[in-house]
Homo-oligomer: A and B are copies of this chain.
Amino acid sequence: MPLRRITISDPADPRLDDIRNLNSSDRRPDLPGGKGLVIAEGPLVVGRLLESAYPVRQLVGFPHRLDSFLAEHPLSGDLPIYEVSREVLAEAAGFDMHRGLLATADRIPLPSVSTIIDHARTVVVLEGVGDHENIGSIFRNSAGLGIDGVLFGAGCADPLYRRSVRVSMGHVLRVPWARLEGKSTTWQRSLDVLRDRGFRLISLTPDEAAVPLSQAMVDDNHQPWSKVALLVGAEGPGLSEHAMRATDIRARIPMAPNTDSLNVATAAAVACWERVRTRF
């Protein structure tokens, strides 16, 4: 049993400030007013946070949740471990957290785009994806399908927001990601670094004038491109014209008549699958 396992019975205890009023203070953790922390919920995601490069600050949980978690993840060192009742946690966090296990960590500097693409064969590039759950799903799917990294263009939500971390099942803490510099009408220029490294830049769009996805993924000899950057935009507006113009080709997932485009995370999963399927 680690030495630093401490029971806290006062919800106002400042040692619980990391997880206080999560619903409001965590809404934009990267901005002033937010805490800027990474928050992991539930044993699976907390375990992945502990394995990640993010410096963990504390573990908080119900006694029986801590027991079972620590039995499978023996911790050493002086990480504070706070035992709380369901009532104390609910009062501090601002809502009932039935998972009963949390960890917080500090953010770390993002890697450079170059670091990520140096050894990458496939990256996903996002523009205007403002929905935290979609971003979380994109990381979960990218991890599962073996995508090498995710690059953020302008207008995306924070991937380290609590809900993104949860929906990603912690993979946002594992799949490398970085930000392409520039504002909404200029970030596209930073795609040049991908082209310079030999990436084929493919925009995903529902536009019927675009080429079918399978065709866009291969060269004239029907061979898969050696490196692919797959751009996806928000559901609804999709990629900006600026972004699509900066790519080599526009690809579509052919859809049945009178239907809607796929959800952005689903469309990205299908496109990633089409990219990686030939590996197997």
In the docked arrangement, what's the CA distance between A145 and B274, Å?
14
Q: Which residues of B contact A213 (CB under 8 A)?
A: 277
Which of A112-120, A136-144, A157-165, A180-188 contacts the other chain?
Answer: A136-144
Tell me, yes or no, whether A123 is within 8 Å of chain B by CB.
Answer: no
Is the pair A269, B277 in contact by a Cβ cutoff of 8 Å? no
User: Shortest CB–CB separation between residue A9 and chain B, in angstroms?
Assistant: 34
- Given A269-B270, A270-B273, also A256-B141 (CB < 8 A): no
Q: Which of B144, B145, B214 contacts A277 (CB 8 A)?
A: B214
Is the pair A266, B212 in contact by a Cβ cutoff of 8 Å? no
Is the pair A280, B212 in contact by a Cβ cutoff of 8 Å? yes
Residue of B nearest to A171 (CB): B259
Is the pair B214, A262 in contact by a Cβ cutoff of 8 Å? no
Q: Restricting to A233-280, which residues have a CB under 8 Å from any CB of B?
A: 253-256, 259-263, 265-266, 269-270, 273-274, 277, 280
Is the pair B143, A263 in contact by a Cβ cutoff of 8 Å? no
Q: Which of B137, B256, B270 contacts A270 (CB 8 A)?
A: B270
- Interface residues of chain A, those whose CB is within 8 Å of chain B, are 137, 140-141, 143-146, 169, 171, 212-214, 253-256, 259-263, 265-266, 269-270, 273-274, 277, 280
Known: A144-B255, A274-B277. 16 other contacts (CB 8 A): A140-B259, A140-B260, A143-B260, A144-B256, A144-B259, A144-B261, A145-B253, A146-B256, A171-B259, A253-B273, A262-B269, A265-B266, A266-B266, A270-B270, A270-B273, A273-B274
